[in-house]
Amino acid sequence: MNPLISANELTALLQGEASPVLLDVRWVLGKNDGAQQYAAGHIPGAIFVDLETQLSGTVGEHTGRHPLPLPADFEAAARSWGINPDSRVVAYDDSGALAAARVWWLLRHAGFETVQVLDGGLEAWKQTDGPISDGIEEAAPGTVMFSWGRMPVVEFGELESLTGVLIDSRATARYLGIEEPIDPVAGHIPGALNRPTTDNLDAQARFHTPEHLQASFTKLGAQQPGSAAYCGSGITAAHQVLAAASAGIELGLYPGSWSEYCSYPQAPVATSDEKHRN
């Protein structure tokens, strides 16, 4: 299944006999008004998903800022959204899929295949004159049962033995250590190549074509088996995995990302520009 769906395709899907489960993953780093934004206007039938509480686990000393949720907790959350074994799920946000990609990745990691992300998000929906509802919607409980561990994952201790390319998905200034507004240490994992997540999107916050994305990832060598992505806390790196998947490339995810990595005092840090490494 194509991991992306257009607003026009979603419209047609909603007019069919079996409507998809719609998930509104409204979240922006540093803000906590996602639920309010959802209540003020969302695609009819969409259920709000809280990234901080439903798509993340408990933060510990070496977990990073957004550790993966426990499998049982994520399954319970998915059931509360109304997901059944035969459901089709479409997730969206209003931030270029930077948040929606997280629930796409987690569902895939849990063995659920029929999930897509709305390309262009809520704005693309509005541009097709799609209806908007307000208030809070609740779903009839679902019965989905998950497995776990279906997507390639890289842990801290495996970083040095990667067989492919490691992509740092953060803004270049953070990668270079010029600035670090969030985590206590500036810089990047030695050997990592910088490709900001924003490179996946065009001026309308829609994903570039598969051909464009494939060329961009291939330029870094990310088509090599064993390649992976990280970011600050594992959220926007899932966007890299999603973009790569739309171009037919499999990337692993380092869930703890920089916020976990820099919590280890012994972990080496680089600040040079390695993006043109051979």
pLDDT of 275 reads 54
Looking at 15-80, which runs of residues are DSSP E strands? 21-24, 47-48
pLDDT for 234 equals: 97
DSSP string for residues in 123-135: HHHHHTT---B-S
- 168-182 per-residue burial string, b: 16 or more CB within 10 A, e: under 16: bbbbeebbbeeebee
Question: Do 22 and 43 meet the contact criterion of CB atoms below 8 Å apart?
Answer: yes
Asked whether residue 10 falls in the same domain as residue 97, the answer is yes
Q: Do 17 and 120 fall into the same domain?
A: yes
Return phi, psi of residue 125, to 5°. -65, -45
Q: 115 and 176 share a domain?
A: no
CATH number, domain with residue 119: 3.40.250.10
Q: In this structure, are 119 and 161 located in the same domain?
A: no
What was the pLDDT predicted at 7? 98
Q: Rounded mean pLDDT of the chain?
A: 96
pLDDT of res. 278? 29
Do 33 and 106 fall within a single domain? yes
What is the number of structural domains in the chain? 2
Flag whether 136 is in a domain.
no
Do 175 and 244 meet the contact criterion of CB atoms below 8 Å apart?
Answer: no
Give the type of residue at 54.
Q
Q: Which of 100, 122, 231, 242 is catalytic?
A: 231
pTM: 0.96
Let me know if 262 is a catalytic residue: no
Residue 238, helix vs strand vs coil: helix
142 belongs to a structural domain: no
In a domain, 268, yes or no: no
Report residues of the chain scoring pLDDT below 50.
Answer: 276-278
Rounded Cα distance, 32 and 205, in Å:
22
Other Cβ atoms less than 10 A from the Cβ of 30: the count is 6
Distance CA 51, CA 228 (A): 22
Asked whether residue 12 falls in the same domain as residue 106, the answer is: yes
Residue 171's domain spans which residues? 156-261
Give the integer Cα–Cα distance in Å for 259 and 50: 21
121 and 23 within one domain? yes
105-117 tens-digit pLDDT: 999 999 999 999 9
Distance CA 46, CA 121 (A): 13
Q: Is 240 part of any domain?
A: yes
**Using an 8 Å Cβ cutoff, are 241 and 101 in contact?**
yes
Count Cβ atoms within 10 A of the Cβ of residue 147 and give its class: 0-12 exposed, 13-18 middle, 19 or more buried.
Answer: exposed
Q: How many residues does the chain have?
A: 278
Q: Is 226 left (phi over 0), alpha (psi -120 to 50) or beta?
A: left
- Predicted local confidence at residue 73, as pLDDT: 98
